[in-house]
Structure 1
Amino acid sequence: MMTVRSGVASDTGAVRTRNEDSALAGAGVFAVADGMGGHAAGDVASRLAIAALQRLADRPGLTPQDLRAGLAAANREILGAVRRQPERAGMGTTVAGLGLVRFAGTEHWVVFNVGDSRVYRFVDGTLAQVTVDHTAPGPRAGITRALGTDPAPEADVWMFPPTPGERFLICSDGLPLEVDNAAIAVVLAAEPSAQRAAETLVRRAVDAGGRDNVTAVVVDHVPAADDERYEQTAPPRSVR
C-alpha cells in the first residue's frame, strides 16, 4: 500500500490583481487549474473544474474513466455557467493533475492535462515533464485546448505504476514562466516537506518577477505499512 503526502501553495503574483488559479490536494486526486478570460471570470472556471475533481477525491476504487468523466463534467458545468450568465462568455480553464486509481487490481498513477498547466515527475534526482503543453507554435502561440469549449476538449491521459520515493509537481504556467527546470529540480531535491517545497517554488516564481498567477501542488509517494492507506501533511483541501 502507499502513503501519499502533499503540499499546495498559490499566489496572485506581482503583476495581476486577481488570482485565477485554483488547486486541489485530496486523498487521491491532485490538480491545478489556471482560469482564462479575465473579466469573463476565469477564476470561476478554474473553481468549477477543481470542484468537479474534488468530488472524486475520496471515491473508493477510483478509475481512469472516473477522471475522464470528472473532466467532462467540469466542461459541462463551465458551459452551463456561461449560459446562465452570458457576460461570462469566453471564460475557460486549463487543468492538469494526478490521480491514484485501481487498475487490474493494483494501484496506478493517472496523469492528465488539458492546456498548458503541467505535471512533472522527480525521481532519482531527475526531473521530467510528464504532460505535453497544448499550445500553438510560433509568434502567435496560444492555448489550443481548454475546458469551457464546445465540443469538449480531449484530455491527454497517461497511466503507470507507482515508484516509492517519487515526487510529482503540478503547476500553473506561472511557475515555469519564472523558474527554469534546473532550479525547480534543486528545490524538489533539497526540501523534504511537500508543503514547504510547494511554498518555496511559488515564492521563487514571485520573487523572479511574478508576471502571472503561480500555483504549485507537490505530491510525494513514500513507503507505507500494509495497514496504512494515505497520510497527508494537511487535510484534503482546495485553494484559489
Structure 2
Amino acid sequence: MSEAKVREVSRHSGTIQRASEATRSAGATHPGYKREQNEDAFWADEQRGIWVVADGLGGHQAGEIASKTVVEEIQRSAATDRHYERALQRAHALLLGDEQNTANMGSTAVVVAEDGAYFHVYWVGDSRAYLWTPGEGGGQLKQLTSDHSYVQMLVDSGAINTVEAANHPNRHVITRCIGGSTNPKLEIDRVSSPWTSGQRLLLCSDGLSAEVESDQIARVLADNSDNRRAADLLIAAALDAGGKDNITVQVIDAPTPTPAGGENWTFRTGGALRASAQKLQARGKILLLMGALGLLAAFAARLFGAL
C-alpha cells in the first residue's frame, strides 16, 4: 500500500484515529463504501488494559445504538468492577428492554482485558481477535475467536470447508449477538493466554476479516511496527477489497516485560559491591598494620643485638 493511499484513507471523514496519548495500541474505523452510516464502535483504555470492538446490527440508528451500548457498559465496568462478562450481560438486558428495540437490533463484540502478564478475550458474534507472533515469512497469525455464525456451524459440522465458507451466500448470518432476540440468556465465550514479548493482538469487525485474507493481514503487521500505520493499512486493504461493510480495527502491542524484582536486584547488587569494597579496605588496613609491626620487631631485634 502506497503512502498516498494511506494519506487518502486517513483524510476520509469516516476514519477515526486513536487518541494521541496512546503508546501501545491504535485503532481506526471507517464506514466503508457501501454503507451510509458507521454502526461499528470501539474504545480503549491502556492504563486499565481494556480494548473493545463492537459491530452494531439492525441498520441505521438501531445498530449504532446497540454498539454504543456495548462500549458504554464496558467503560462502566472498566471504571468499577472489571467484570466484563457481566458488562456484556448488562448490555444484552438493556438492548432487550429498549423500547426502540426490534428483533434485528443487536451487536457483536470482542473485548480484550489484561491481567498482569495474561490477557483474556471475551466475544459474542463474528467480531474477531487474532494473535500475531513475529517470525519468518510474515510471522504467525492465529485466530483466537471462533465466529458465532451459520457458516461457522456448517464448517464445524463438516458440511462445507473454509474455502466454501468464504464465498457462502449466508456468511454474514450470525447465530449469537448482544440483544437482537427475545432470549434473556446470553452465552459469552472466553479464551485466555499469556503475553509473549513481540506479540500483537488485532481486534476487528467482519468488515476486515470477511474481505482481507489472513496472509495479507499478517504481512501488514509484520511490515509495520507502528500501530497507527498498521491500522490505517488494514482499513485501506479492506477498502481496496470493496469496502462493502463498516471496518474497525485495533492493534495492540504486548506489554514491555519488566524483570521481576529488577529494581531491588540493582539495589542489592550495589549494596553487595559496597560491602565487598569495605571488606577489602579493612583487610588492606590490617595487612598494612601487620607489615608495620613486623618491621618494628625486626628493627628492635637488630637494635638489641647491637647492644
Residue 177 of structure 2 is aligned to residue 158 of structure 1: no
* Partner SS for 1:178: coil
**Distance in 1 (alpha carbons) for counterparts of 2:80 and 2:201:** 21
Q: Distance in 2 between matches of 1:4 and 1:154?
A: 33
Structure 1 equivalent of residue 45 of structure 2: 26
Give, in whole Å, the separation in 2 of the partners of 1:196 and 1:59: 33
SS of the residue corresponding to residue 74 of structure 2 reads helix
Greater Cα offset, 197-206 or 182-191:
197-206
Q: Kindly state the Cα deviation for residue 224 of structure 1 after the two structures are TM-superposed.
A: 4.6
Q: 1:72 to 1:220 in 2, by over 3 A?
A: same
1:47 to partner: Cα distance: 0.6
Q: Give the deviation of 1:59 after TM superposition.
A: 5.1
CA displacement, residues 64-84 of structure 1 (integer Å, 9 cap, x when unaligned) = xx1111111111222232x3x
Question: How far did 1:203 drift?
Answer: 1.5
- The alignment status of 1:171 with 2:188, answered yes or no, reads no
User: Gapped runs of 5+ residues in structure 1?
Assistant: 228-240
Quote the residue 1:114 is aligned against: 124
After superposition, residues 192-203 of structure 1 pair within 5 angstroms as: 192-203=225-236
Structure 2, gaps ≥5 residues long: 1-21, 155-168, 261-307
Using the alignment, how far apart are the partners of 1:31 and 1:205 within structure 2?
20
Deviation at 1:161, TM superposition (A): 1.8
Q: Is 1:181 paired with 2:214?
A: yes
Distance 1:40 1:195 in 2: 28
Q: What's 1:145 paired with? A: 176
TM-score by length of 2: 0.65
Q: How does 1:52-71 map to 2 (within 5 A)?
A: 52-58=73-79, 62=82, 66-71=83-88
The answer on whether the counterparts of 1:4 and 1:222 sit within 8 Å (CA) in structure 2 is no
Separation in 2 of the partners of 1:41 and 1:24? Answer: 19
Of structures 1 and 2, the one scoring higher in RCO (CA 8 A, sep 6+) is 1
Give the drift of 1:207.
2.1
**TM-aligned CA deviation for residue 39 of structure 1:** 4.0
Give the deviation of 1:140 after TM superposition: 4.3
CA–CA distance in structure 1, aligned partners of residues 232 and 44 of structure 2:
14
TM-score, scaled to structure 1: 0.82
**Equivalent-residue separation in structure 1 for 2:79 and 2:225 (angstroms):** 26
The answer to whether structure 1 residue 45 and structure 2 residue 55 are counterparts is no
Matched residue type, 1:98: V
Question: Is the contact made by 2:197 and 2:257 (CA closer than 8 Å) also made in structure 1?
Answer: no
Structure index of larger Rg = 2
Q: Is the 8 A contact 1:187 1:201 kept in 2?
A: yes
Partner of 2:243: 210
Residue 24 of structure 2 corresponds to which residue in structure 1? Answer: 5
Q: Which residue pairs with 2:113 in the alignment?
A: 99
Alignment pair present for 1:223 and 2:240: no
Tell me if structure 1 keeps the 8 A contact 2:41–2:71.
yes
Deviations along 1:28-87, whole A, 9 cap, x unmatched?
111111100014611110010011112233558x4xxx1111111111222232x3x35x
Equivalent in the alignment of 2:296: none
Length, aligned pairs only = 214
Give the Å deviation of 1:225.
Answer: 4.5
Q: Name the structure where helix makes up a greater proportion of residues.
A: 2
